[in-house]
Amino acid sequence: MIDIYCNEKLIEKIRNGDRNAEIEIIESNKALIYKIIKDYYYASKNVLDMEDVYQAGCLGLIKAVRNFKPELGNKFVTYAYYLIRGEVQRIYEEHSKREMTMSDIQIRNSDGVVMESQEAMDYIRYERKSWEDEWNHQKITDDKIMVDDLLKKVTPLQKKILVYRYYDDLSQKEIGELINKSQVFVSREEKRARKKLISLLDQKECIY
């Protein structure tokens, strides 16, 4: 049984910069992580892929810690479930695509040396992360300030849907499960909220 009070204390410590608390919260929620990832874990092709799946589950948990907003009305464990599952699905799909394509291509590193499959995947991930971090850091900061302001203009439920959809990368079906609404309802409210935000963005552009 997960100690909810313990989670709350650890979340506060992590948000205050305590890196040791990240290890503690992973340990205290290990049963939850394995419960969510087990199908992907045992379907993995090798030990390294299994480790990737587990690490993705841990990443999903830490992402949930950093993004969790209790004011949106969900329990942390419920919210974490979707982020853990989402991270694991993504890494598992990466593995599946690699199995289909890596045998057909050769990738050279910056020194011109042909890399083995695992080296190539690590190289791609590192290069993509470095480029995205450098390119997007200032843009993400500016956009987030603007979006935070715009989200005050939609209804509380629409704000919740947009946050889950675009901050946490959840599907409409997952959001529906979180807020106890149908996928059709989520889709409709997302479209209404986006339409309103687009109109507000157009107004801002006119001002500039």
Beta carbons within 8 Å of 102's beta carbon, 6+ residues apart: 117, 120, 121
Separation of alpha carbons 41 and 54, rounded Å: 7
Q: How many CA atoms lie within 13 A of 163 on its CB side?
A: 23
For residue 147, the model assigns a pLDDT of: 63
Overall average pLDDT of the 59-86 stretch: 87
Q: What is the pLDDT of residue 163?
A: 84
Token pair for 32: 């939850």
pLDDT at 156 over 60: yes
As a three-state string, the secondary structure of the chain is CCCHHHHHHHHHHHHCCCHHHHHHHHHHCHHHHHHHHHHHHHHCCCHHHHHHHHHHHHHHHHHHHHHCCHHHCCCHHHHHHHHHHHHHHHHHHHHHHHHHHHHHCCCECCCCCECCHHHHHHHHHHHHHHHHHHHHHHHHHHHHHHHHHHHHHCCHHHHHHHHHHHHCCCCHHHHHHHHCCCHHHHHHHHHHHHHHHHHHHHHHHHHC
Which domains occur in the chain, in start order? Answer: 1-103 (1.10.1740), 154-203 (1.10.10)
Contacts of 168 (CB under 8 A, 6+ apart): 63, 67, 82, 83, 86
Average pLDDT over residues 72-95: 87
Q: Is the dihedral of CA 194, 196, 202, 204 positive or negative?
A: negative
**Whether residue 166 has pLDDT greater than 70:** yes
- 3 — pLDDT class (breaks 50, 70, 90): low
Q: pLDDT at residue 115 above 80?
A: no
Q: Which amino acid, one-letter code, is at 142?
A: D
